[in-house]
Structure 1
């Protein structure tokens, strides 16, 4: 069966701006972080729990911790590649970030920094839950430009082309894939899965308002399911433990742990909103250009009992008397 259409492999993985060269892998991660911080800050403001500045300050430490954790996880799970090449360990731009490690270190650090800024942990977790997969959805496109972490060979219409320099061994045969082979675009699958996770979490939060930070547990469940599926398609070298790849076992652990976290945390109520932020938000909605509007009367459909008639306007009794005089004159 011939391929009807394919996703072409990119011919570049960096953008040159004058003397500056921007690696697209790192740029994709940076754009994902920016989008996540925006959504996190917006949700903090909606709950009167923090501001966009709080979100930015928290993200600085959470992202740094997440990158370190993700890199250490990748190095630990692919140690054979770095033996004797220890200088390659900090080369993030060449690819190689393990999301489970990023979550393991980044989420606790982010929650700790939120606590330091007076934001309740449950609210911070709830606000961050859909922001994290938003970052992942954008960041996964870095794998596309690096031509890495693709799936098994396929001739589906949306199959991904990979150039000769980025082909890997076929785990089924132990030989290199032939030039021209097309593959499952697992970067695209995971990106779309992450976007769907964002939409579902936002809907659940709006519809049912799960408390206690339990929305973070649902994120872990969704991520674990998607990662287990995508990981099962990939052909990059990885350690197998029994019938599954190591990362699939980690994904299953996330599903179980996330479900337990959801069931435990949903029993705990959220703290009330920050009164100072509520008052500030109310003041920002009073009047126009900072001028407070006068309150409208309770009944704006007619005059009140104390209203006086306007000058030149006859009272109802006067009008009745005037009509009688006019009638006498007409007789």
Structure 2
């Protein structure tokens, strides 16, 4: 049995169904969203949230996230879209690839916050329920990057080096055909899956409410992305102090996660789970702070009153 000395890239990135061209990148993005919604819904309902709440929030968060992710990508790669004779409509071609996670997180969080206010749900409770699902969604999205041949690192001679078609726009100039690259899409998939396991295991031993699961997500993803960006081949033209903007943003994300965990641990040091407190669904173990609302059990946080749990 011959073991491949490299990882081949797919020959196709889409299929044609009649008049429609279906891009694999878009399919994996949609699959990631579906998995994240399903997992988050299950987690939030188990915590006392009303069934269907996550879908209501997703209807706001997903469009906001897509717009933000695309906007960030276009802004940080201006020469790909703005040049003499350029087709400016391509700035909207999300299905061809180019959704920046930092823009998606920022705008998606804004959409989720608006939706949480509308349905009467504490935003941090939703974010904690979302944390592992978000990492799963990002892992699915990276498979789409693989089909687009757009996420790889510096050249490598390792046996799992990634083949990139030299005719691809992302292929670096000046390198010989046959050069292999670090498969960053694969590294990030594995890192994200590890992050899911860490969050789920940590929740068994620690109280990760009031935004602490969100903070752990930010730390895990920010740390991994900082490392990946350090050897990623990316045509972004934005640098600060000699560092790529994505690398700096990832570091800021990780630091923000640490700060969030520390601040929320100090603001809400009380035990959140009381196994003797039944909920309306008849389950025990739901945080007492989360059983105040008559319809959904995760009402928006009010100053100081949320500390009564």
**TM-score of the pair, normalised by structure 2:** 0.82
Whichever of the two has the greater Rg, that structure is 1
Contact 2:150 2:170 in 1 (8 A): no
Residue by residue, what CA displacement relative to the aligned partner does 1:140-184 show, whole Å, maximum 9, x if unpaired? Answer: 1111000112111111111111112116464xxxx4321111110
Name the residue aligned to 1:21: 21
Name the residue aligned to 1:225: 223
Gaps of 5+ in 1: 283-331
Name the residue aligned to 1:158: 160
Name the residue aligned to 2:41: 41
Q: 1:33-112 alignment to 2 at 5 Å?
A: 33-51=33-51, 53-84=52-83, 85=86, 86-112=88-114
Contact 2:139 2:189 in 1 (8 A): yes
1:280, CA displacement in angstroms?
4.0
Residue by residue, what CA displacement relative to the aligned partner does 1:32-68 show, whole Å, maximum 9, x if unpaired? Answer: 00000011000011101232x1111111210110010
1:243, CA displacement in angstroms?
3.6
Name the residue aligned to 1:179: 177
Contact 2:207 2:272 in 1 (8 A): no
1:260, CA displacement in angstroms?
0.9
Which is bigger in relative contact order (C-alpha 8 A, separation at least 6)? 2
Residue by residue, what CA displacement relative to the aligned partner does 1:54-98 show, whole Å, maximum 9, x if unpaired? Answer: 111111210110010001101111112221432211011221111
Q: Which has the higher mean CA deviation after the structures are superposed, 79-88 or 90-99?
A: 79-88
Match 1:124 to one of 117, 123, 126: 126
Contact 1:54 1:117 in 2 (8 A): yes
Q: 1:305-316 alignment to 2 at 5 Å?
A: none
Name the residue aligned to 1:136: 138
What SS does the aligned partner of 1:6 have? coil
Name the residue aligned to 2:10: 10
What SS does the aligned partner of 1:108 have? helix
Residue by residue, what CA displacement relative to the aligned partner does 1:250-278 show, whole Å, maximum 9, x if unpaired? Answer: 111111111111111233369899xxx94
> Are the structure 2 counterparts of residues 14 and 132 from structure 1 closer, same or farther at C-alpha, using a change threshold of 3 Å?
same
CA distance in 1, matches of 2:175, 2:24: 26
What SS does the aligned partner of 2:167 have? helix
Q: CA RMSD in A?
A: 2.2
Gaps of 5+ in 2: 284-309
Contact 2:207 2:271 in 1 (8 A): no
Match 2:186 to one of 188, 207, 210: 188
1:122, CA displacement in angstroms?
2.7
Name the residue aligned to 1:257: 256
CA distance in 2, matches of 1:196, 1:169: 29
CA distance in 2, matches of 1:99, 1:270: 33
Contact 2:164 2:171 in 1 (8 A): no
CA distance in 1, matches of 2:227, 2:158: 17
CA distance in 2, matches of 1:128, 1:270: 21
CA distance in 2, matches of 1:100, 1:61: 17
What SS does the aligned partner of 2:104 have? helix
